[in-house]
Amino acid sequence: MLTQIIIFGASGDLTARKLIPGLLASHATGQFKTAVQVIGVARRPKSDDAWRAELAEWIEPDAQAGWADFAPRVFYRSGDVRDPVCARALEATLDTLARDAGVEPGQVGRLFYLALKPALFTPVVACLAGEGMLAAPLGETTAWRRVVVEKPFGTDLASAKALNQALRSHLHEEQILRIDHYLGKETVQNILSFRFQNAIFEPLWNSKHVESVEISVCESLGMEAGRGGYYDGAGALRDMLQNHLLQILAMVAMEAPSSMAPDAIRAEKVKVLQALTPLSPAAIERDLVRGQYVEGPAGRGYLDEDGVPADSQTETFVAVRANIANWRWNQVPFLLRTGKRLDGRYTQVVLRFHTPPVDLLNGPVPDGLCALRPNALTLLIQPEEGIRLSFLVKQPGPGMVMRPAELSFDYASLGAATAPAYQRLLLDAVHGNPTLFIRGDEAEAAWRFADSLRQGWLDTQAPVVSYPAGSGGPPEADALFRGCEGIWSRSEAQQ
Ligand SMILES: NC(=O)c1ccc[n+]([C@@H]2O[C@H](COP(=O)([O-])OP(=O)(O)OC[C@H]3O[C@@H](n4cnc5c(N)ncnc54)[C@H](OP(=O)(O)O)[C@@H]3O)[C@@H](O)[C@H]2O)c1
C-alpha cells in the first residue's frame, strides 16, 4: 500500500518550514502505516533534485541522515493548480510514480494539501474534482482521497459558509480537513485527557466553583518577514481569536463527549461555540478592547511596519470578556486576550476558583480590599508546557500565617520531546483521523461569534487604543477583570 501526499504550494514558506520537516520526522520514526511519496506542485519550473536541494536547507542537522533516505520519495511537478491540463498531467504523474513503487494506482490513498493562498482553495478543488481526482466512496480505506485546507478558513461567516458550500459540492465532509495547528499541540490535546481522565477536577469545572477563565495567547513578535501587508487585512480578531483562542475555549468548556470518536468530540465543541453570547452594542464598549502597538521598548509602532498603511485601524491586540450561555458556564467570564509585540511570548489558560465562603483566619475583608484568591489552575501551553495548581499553606511557625504554594507538572519531566503540531496533524490526516481538524459547522459557529465582535465595533465605532511595543498591552484591557476578579496572568519567565 502507498500514500501519496500532494502539496500545492510546494515552494512556499509553510511547506519548507513545517510540512516537509513534519513528514520527514514521521517517516524517520516509522510512524506511517504505509509507504509514502510526496509530490510538490507550484508554478515555477524546477527539477526534483532542485526542489530537494531547496528543502534540504531547512532540515535540521540531526535530521539530515533521515533526509537522505526520505529525499528520493520527494518529487516536484510544475503547473498552475487552476489548470485542468495541469490536473490531468498530475494524475498521470501520480499513477506512474505509484507503479514505479510497485503499487497499482487503485491501491493508493491520496492526501491533497492546499498550502496556497485562500483564494485558490475553491478553484483547485473544483479543478481536481472536474478531473475525477477526488472521487472516493464514503468509508474508502485504500484508495481514499482527502483534502487539507489551510487557515484562514474564510474571513467572516458569509465567506466561511460559501467556502464550506463550495468544498462540499465536491467532497464529503469526512474528506475535508480544516487545519488549526493549535490543535496539534500536545498541551492543547492534553486539556481533554486532563479533564476527562481525572475525576477529581471535573466536579469543580463549572460556574459553582470557577470564578473566571482566562485564555491568553501573547506574542512578542510584530510584523516580521514582511507580514504587514497580509496581517493588515486580517487583524488579531480574525488571525488569532476566531481560530486559536476559540478552539482552546471549546476544549476547556465543552461537555464530556459520549466517546472519543472524532464526531462525538467535535459535536461537543460546536455546542460550546454556539452558546457564546454575541456582544450587544453596550457590551462592546464594556467588554471588548482593541489595541494597536505604537513605538515602545520593543521597537517601532505598527503603522511604521513595512506594508502597513499609515492610517490603518487594524487591531494588533484584542481582548474580550465573553460569556457562554449554557448550564455549566453562564455568568462565568471567559477572558480572552491575544496581541502582537507584547512583553512576552506565551499561551496559557488560567481557571481561577472562588474564595472560601467564610475566611476563618482573617475574618471579613475590609471594604475596598479584595480577599486573596489563592486557588488557580494554570494550563501552560507554550513555551512552557505543564500544569500548575496553586493554593495556600501555613507558614511554619507560631500563629496561622498563610503563604502561597503550588503543585506543578512539567511535560519535560516525561523525558519525551513533544512532536511539532504540523507533524502530528499530517500524520492524523494521512491516517484518516479528523478529531483534531475543524468541522465545517465548528468553523461557522466560531465566525458567528467573531463577526458579532467585529460588527459591534464597526456599529459603535469603538476606538482602537494604543499600547507601547514591548508592553503588557493596553491598560484598558485590565478593566475587563471586574472588582476582585484578579488581573491578567504573566508568563512563568515574567514572574
Ligand atoms: N507560512 C506559515 O507559517 C503559515 C502558517 C499558517 C497558515 N499558513 C497558510 O498556508 C498557506 C500557504 O502559506 P505560505 O506562507 O506557504 O505561502 P507562500 O510562501 O506565499 O507560498 C505560496 C505557494 O503557492 C504557490 N502558488 C501560488 N499560486 C499558484 C498557482 N496558481 N498554482 C500553483 N501554485 C501556486 C507558490 O509558488 P509559485 O509562485 O511557484 O507558483 C508558492 O509555492 C496560506 O493559506 C497561509 O495562510 C501559512
Q: Tell me, in angstroms, the distance from the centre of ligand 1 to residue 11's CA.
A: 7
**Other Cβ atoms closer than 10 A to 297:** 10
Whether residue 70 has pLDDT greater than 90: yes
What sign does the dihedral 152-43-175-420 (CA atoms) show? Answer: negative
Residue 179 CA: which ligand 1 atom is closest?
Answer: 7
DSSP of 128-151, one letter per residue? HHHTTTT---TT-SSS-EEEEEPS
What local confidence, expressed as pLDDT, does residue 30 receive? Answer: 95
Residue 357: is the preceding peptide bond cis (ω within 30°)? no
User: Which has the minimum average pLDDT: 241-255, 357-371, 411-425?
Assistant: 357-371
The whole-number pLDDT of residue 95 equals 96
pLDDT digits (tens, 9 = 90+) for 212-240: 999 999 999 999 877 888 899 999 999 99
What separation in angstroms does the CA of 301 have from each of 225, 240, 260, 362? 16, 20, 46, 47
* Angle at the Cα of 344 from the Cα atoms of 341 and 345, rounded to 5 degrees: 90
The 10s digit of each residue's pLDDT in 263-277 is 999 999 999 999 999
Read off φ and ψ for residue 19, nearest 5 degrees: -70, -50
Q: Compute the mean pLDDT over every residue in the chain, rounded to the nearest whole number.
A: 94
Question: What is the pLDDT, as a whole number, of residue 225?
Answer: 75
Nearest-CA residue for ligand 1 atom 24 is 9
Mean pLDDT over residues 330-338, rounded? Answer: 98
Instruction: Tell me whether the omega of the peptide bond preceding residue 366 falls within 30 degrees of 0, making it cis.
Output: no
- Centre a 10 Å sphere on the Cβ of residue 228 and count the other Cβ atoms it contains: 20
Distance 115 CA to ligand 1 centre (A): 5
Residue 418: the pLDDT is 79
Mean pLDDT, residues 368-375: 84
Q: Which of 24-33, 37-46, 189-198, 364-373 has the lowest mean pLDDT?
A: 364-373
pLDDT of 493:
87
Using pLDDT thresholds of 50, 70 and 90, give the confidence band for residue 54: very high
Mean pLDDT of 140-153: 93
Number of Cα atoms under 13 Å in the Cβ half of residue 195: 20
If you classify domain 2-150 with CATH, what class do you get? alpha beta
Q: Compute the average pLDDT of residues 334-346.
A: 97
Mean pLDDT (whole number) for 317-332: 98
In the chain, where the domains are located: 2-150, 183-419+439-494
Kindly list the catalytic residues. Answer: 244
Query: Could you identify the atom of ligand 1 that is nearest to the CA of residue 11?
Result: 43
In this structure, what C-alpha cell is assigned to residue 469?
511595543
To test the ligand 1 pocket, which listed residue (6, 7, 13) has its Cβ within 8 A of the most ligand atoms?
Answer: 13
Q: Which atom of ligand 1 approaches the CA of 120 most closely?
A: 31
Three-state DSSP at 15 gives helix
Q: Which of 6, 15, 43, 155 to mutate to test the pocket of ligand 1 (most atoms within 8 A of CB)?
A: 43
Quick one: pLDDT at residue 400?
86
Nearest to 87 by CA among 8, 168, 3: 8
pLDDT at 178: 98
For 183-419+439-494, the fitting CATH number among 3.30.70.270, 3.30.360.10, 3.30.1330.10, 3.10.129.10 is: 3.30.360.10
Q: Where are the alpha helices (DSSP H) in 432-480?
A: 440-460
Distance of CA 22 to the CA centre of its chain: 17
Residue nearest (by alpha carbon) to ligand 1 atom 19: 12
- As for ligand 1, residues whose beta carbon falls within 6 Å of it are 8-15, 41-44, 80-82, 115-118, 120, 150-151
Give the per-residue pLDDT at 383: 94
Q: Whose CA is nearest to atom 41 of ligand 1?
A: 43
pLDDT tens per residue, range 393-424: 999 998 888 899 999 999 999 987 778 999 99
Point out which residues pair with 111 in neighbouring strands: 5, 146
Q: What's the CA gap between 255 and 269, in Å, rounded?
A: 8
Q: Whose CA is nearest to atom 25 of ligand 1?
A: 9
CB distance 468 to 294 below 8 Å: yes
Cα of 347 to ligand 1 centre, how many Å? 26
Q: How far is the CA of 240 from the centre of ligand 1 (A)?
A: 19
In this prediction, residues 38-48 reach a mean pLDDT of 96
Ligand 1 geometric centre to CA of 15 (Å): 8
Model's pTM, two decimal places? 0.95
56-70, 185-199, 350-364, 433-447, range with the lowest pLDDT: 350-364
How many angstroms is it from 385 CA to the middle of ligand 1?
30
Cell numbers describing residue 394? 501555613
